[in-house]
Amino acid sequence: MDSSTDRIADPWGARTPYAPGAPWPDRTDMHLAEGVAEEDVERWVRSASILHSNGDALDIAVRDGRIVGVRGRAVDRVNRGRLGPKDLYGWQANHSPDRLTRPLVREHGRLVETDWDTAMDRVTARTKNLLDERGPGAVGFYTTGQLFLEEYYTLAVLAHAGIRTNHLDGNTRLCTATAAEALKETFGSDGQPGSYEDVDHADTIALFGHNAAETQTVLWMRILDRLEGSDPPRLLCVDPRSTPVARRADVHLAPRPGTNVALLNALLHEIIRTGRVDRAYVEAHTVGFDELAARVEPCTPAWAAEICDVPAARIERAADLLGGARRLLSTVLQGVYQSHQASAAAVQVNNLHLLRGMLGRPGCGLLQMNGQPTAQNTRECGANGDLPGFRNWQNDRHVAELAEIWNVEPDGIPHYGPPTHAMQIFRYAEQGSLGMLWISGTNPAVSLPELARIRAILAQERLFVVVQDLFLTETAQLADVVLPAATWGEKTGTFTNTDRTVHLSEKAVEPPGEARADLDIFLDFAARMDFRDKDGGPLIGWRDPQGAFAAWQRCSAGRPCDYTGLSYDRLRHGSGIQWPCTPDAPDGTARLYTDGIDHAHPDRCESYGKDMVTGATVTPVEYRSLNPEGKAVIKAAEYLPPHEDASPEYPLQLITGRTVYHFHTRTKTGRAPELNAAAPDVWAELSPAEAAARGLADGDLVQVTTARGAMRARLRTTEIRDGVVFVPFHYGYWDTPEGHRPPDGRPGRAANETTVTDWDPVSKQPLFKTAAARVTPVARDGRRGADGAGTAGSTA
């Protein structure tokens, strides 16, 4: 049991080294509220963590009707009992005294408490009014990657077939739209090929733009345990910052932000040049190799070295490591996804695995990572700008199948174009064609780019904004109706982690006041709207989580994300289970593509793909002629420079991201005392050379300014590339001296005051990691010791 170490000071705890191919030893982590001993706990309730995409299995400790702690579950395949700092401490937010307990409605400009009937009647009346006067295109939904599967599926049915709007997307657009897109481009369908067990077998592990040490702490513990065991894997890290991952890497490439495609093309060039291509695999399972070979032919390490500002010899070393691997595991995340060529770059990592034939075998894993705990479910249920069950909106047979499952006419499900992506939904709201936006489980007034614009959109009189949240967030403060939601621990449902492992999370305690589960809120709305199927029956026939799960199972049957072999009862015992799980594969499926490519066939695929530069959709006819047998598609991409580059006015490149102690806009982690104390306020990172050039010292108050706006933060010098400034995006307004108001005039502390409204043309994911900025002093009141020392290093 590892409850003794200070997991703020040491986020990863004690090592349990293991050898290749051996099972990962267990280690049970636990944290209980002060004064509570293990024997005081009355009930342990089954759940998993929802503060990242890892799916750490845990039991919730309950005493006197309150959550008093958590304990990792040693039998679970994902974490073998381990928990990260957010898992250990984050649950305390549930009992925060400022939870919303009653609905709020706006009266004469102010939000006032009301009862559920009044609030829901307002929402229903406005919806009906808009449907009558302007049609379904006037109503939009912006949801999250943090609800449960049952909730997303219900929302997807009510939006797609009840309201019949095409405007339904998740904050997954900001998060893992590129993961889904890259998988669709290469394999024809979403669905993670790899498994966390690949860590146990890999001889080489490569992390592309993924600071796993801080963002998937338990996955990183597994990698650390391999690194400390016999015959450790070799590690490659691609990140402009010296993260804890970079510090453990055998090869660290720190490219200029926004140059991933150039770097990856050079790595592929070297793999081909040195004869490391698995010709038999490429021949049997792929199309498009020749085009890739031609495309990367001129992309020598020397060429990429110029663009990326990384020594050519180091690129050669990295290529040698990847080319020499016999069991390669790669992970990809926001350093790749939140960039102007996000999909093009992510796809090159897929290409690396195809060229090397490294798929579908132990240790040969590819993880186009998720970030949020339930993002996989947003995607598979079709609450993310896709159709449910990874169905293809361009395939009439898929739409007809969905119509049959829902017992509606196919024309009743909008499929005239791809479901609207979030950036476009906000654009429609800005332009006025959208009259109502229902936001659930996300805080766009802090997390979307260019916040001044987002605030102005949400504050418009003509836009009716519904916000469903736990707290009066920056976004909720701009709403017309606020619906108090129950959350994790207060409601039951299932969710699926990055490596397709499904967990059941059961209700442990009652929600505060009148707060209600998101599922109940959506079901109540559907009942008030009286949505009907084509025979006059209720469109949504279920009343509880298990009913919703059963309906989803039917929708998933025969699709890549098949849930038909699962049940709540099975998920109550032993480990979580990886989909697809069917009567034929009752214990789930460790890896996809063990026997060739399954889902890319023209009749089966979720997408026919897009042009890597323009994002234009490939037509069904084009796809059929390119890939008649449904092999993996090797897509080449040309490097294009970032849309916004450094200039004399904005000489630095701005990147934003995360710290180990906080989750997103801190609505939960900011309310957990240990986590809040570990990183109470925002900071900005510069290299010592860039700081010195500006006469700045650690702790000075600086302003980061871009063409969009400015934010203020204390300076930290770290081992980041010269020419780059890094800011964590977690900090909004709610605990500033200004209280619940945006700062008037004076720059605030949210990173997204400065980020740009722009996105990858293929996945439509916004660019949080490529912008140009300048850093100027506000107050030179930092630490100017004789040795010039300050708080060096990253947070962990």
Ligand X SMILES: Nc1nc2c(c(=O)[nH]1)N[C@H]1C(S)=C(S)[C@@H](COP(=O)(O)OP(=O)(O)OC[C@H]3O[C@@H](n4cnc5c(=O)[nH]c(N)nc54)[C@H](O)[C@@H]3O)O[C@H]1N2
Task: Tell me which residues touch ligand X (CB under 6 A).
Answer: 52-53, 86, 144-147, 171, 174-175, 208-211, 214-215, 238-241, 243, 255, 257-258, 260, 333-336, 338-339, 371-372, 440-444, 446-447, 468-471, 473, 485, 487-488, 518, 655-658, 660, 662-665, 667, 729, 751-752, 755, 768-769
> 3-class secondary structure for 550-615?
HHHHHHHCCCCCCCCCCCHHHHCCCCCEECCCCCCCCCCCCCCCECECCCCCCCCCCCCCECCCCC
Picked from Mo ion, ligand X, none, the partner binding residue 655 (CB below 5 to 8 A depending on kind) is ligand X
Q: Decide whether 255 or 580 has the Cβ nearer to ligand X.
A: 255
Which of 464, 552, 458 has the alpha carbon at shortest distance from 105? Answer: 464
For the CB of residue 254, give the shortest distance to ligand X in the complex, in Å: 9
For the CB of residue 786, give the shortest distance to ligand X in the complex, in Å: 31
At 32, list the tokens.
């209980």
For the CB of residue 495, give the shortest distance to ligand X in the complex, in Å: 11
For the CB of residue 372, give the shortest distance to ligand X in the complex, in Å: 4
For the CB of residue 331, give the shortest distance to Mo ion in the complex, in Å: 14
Picked from Mo ion, ligand X, none, the partner binding residue 166 (CB below 5 to 8 A depending on kind) is none
Which of 792, 796, 769 has the alpha carbon at shortest distance from 657? Answer: 769
Helix 312-324 with 260-273: angle, nearest 10 deg: 60
Picked from ligand X, Mo ion, none, the partner binding residue 79 (CB below 5 to 8 A depending on kind) is none
Give dist(CA 569, CA 611) in Å, integer. Answer: 44
For the CB of residue 546, give the shortest distance to ligand X in the complex, in Å: 18
Describe the strand order of the beta sheet including 110-113 as a list of residue ranges: 110-113, 104-107, 481-484, 464-469, 436-440, 139-143, 168-170
Q: Decide whether 289 or 522 has the Cβ nearer to ligand X.
A: 522
Q: Decide whether 53 or 496 has the Cβ nearer to ligand X.
A: 53
Which residues have C-beta within 8 Å of that of residue 88, sequence separation ≥ 6?
Answer: 7, 29, 30, 31, 70
Picked from ligand X, Mo ion, none, the partner binding residue 627 (CB below 5 to 8 A depending on kind) is none
User: What's the helix, strand, coil split of the chain in %, to 5?
Assistant: 35, 20, 50
Give dist(CA 646, CA 125) in Å, integer. Answer: 50
For the CB of residue 611, give the shortest distance to ligand X in the complex, in Å: 22
For the CB of residue 574, give the shortest distance to ligand X in the complex, in Å: 26
Q: Are strands 632-633 and 286-287 parallel, antiparallel or unpaired?
A: parallel
Picked from ligand X, Mo ion, none, the partner binding residue 333 (CB below 5 to 8 A depending on kind) is ligand X
For the CB of residue 720, give the shortest distance to ligand X in the complex, in Å: 8
Q: Decide whether 353 or 631 has the Cβ nearer to ligand X.
A: 353
Picked from ligand X, Mo ion, none, the partner binding residue 214 (CB below 5 to 8 A depending on kind) is ligand X
For the CB of residue 86, give the shortest distance to Mo ion in the complex, in Å: 14
Indicate the SS3 state at residue 718. coil
Picked from ligand X, Mo ion, none, the partner binding residue 729 (CB below 5 to 8 A depending on kind) is ligand X
Q: Let me know the angle formed at the C-alpha of 486 by 482 and 492, rounded to the nearest 5 degrees.
A: 145
Which of 594, 610, 607 has the alpha carbon at shortest distance from 341? Answer: 610
Picked from ligand X, Mo ion, none, the partner binding residue 287 (CB below 5 to 8 A depending on kind) is none
At 708, list the tokens.
């969009």
CA 658 to chain centre: 12
Q: Decide whether 73 or 210 has the Cβ nearer to ligand X.
A: 210
Residues that bind Mo ion (CB under 5 A): 175, 371-372
Q: Decide whether 484 or 630 has the Cβ nearer to ligand X.
A: 484
Q: Decide whether 488 or 639 has the Cβ nearer to Mo ion.
A: 488
Q: Decide whether 373 or 782 has the Cβ nearer to ligand X.
A: 373
For the CB of residue 535, give the shortest distance to ligand X in the complex, in Å: 32
Q: Decide whether 193 or 728 has the Cβ nearer to ligand X.
A: 728
Indicate the SS3 state at residue 365. strand
Q: Decide whether 166 or 794 has the Cβ nearer to ligand X.
A: 794
- Shortest Cβ contact with ligand X: which residue? 371
For the CB of residue 586, give the shortest distance to ligand X in the complex, in Å: 30
Picked from ligand X, Mo ion, none, the partner binding residue 144 (CB below 5 to 8 A depending on kind) is ligand X
Give the E-state strand segments of 27-146 in sequence order: 30-32, 43-48, 57-63, 66-72, 104-107, 110-113, 139-143
Q: Decide whether 334 or 676 has the Cβ nearer to Mo ion.
A: 334
Picked from ligand X, Mo ion, none, the partner binding residue 518 (CB below 5 to 8 A depending on kind) is ligand X
Q: What is the DSSP letter of 759?
A: B
Q: Let me know the angle formed at the C-alpha of 756 by 679 and 443, rounded to the nearest 5 degrees.
A: 50
Picked from Mo ion, ligand X, none, the partner binding residue 662 (CB below 5 to 8 A depending on kind) is ligand X
Residue with tokens 């085009």: 291
Picked from ligand X, Mo ion, none, the partner binding residue 636 (CB below 5 to 8 A depending on kind) is none
Picked from Mo ion, ligand X, none, the partner binding residue 92 (CB below 5 to 8 A depending on kind) is none
Give dist(CA 204, CA 356) in Å, integer. Answer: 13
For the CB of residue 44, give the shortest distance to ligand X in the complex, in Å: 21
Indicate the SS3 state at residue 791. coil
Which of 142, 139, 144 has the alpha carbon at shortest distance from 164? Answer: 139
At 203, list the tokens.
């001889």
Q: Decide whether 71 or 662 has the Cβ nearer to Mo ion.
A: 662
Q: Decide whether 408 or 724 has the Cβ nearer to ligand X.
A: 724
Give dist(CA 6, CA 26) in Å, integer. Answer: 19
Q: Is the peptide bond before 580 cis (omega within 30 degrees of 0)?
A: yes
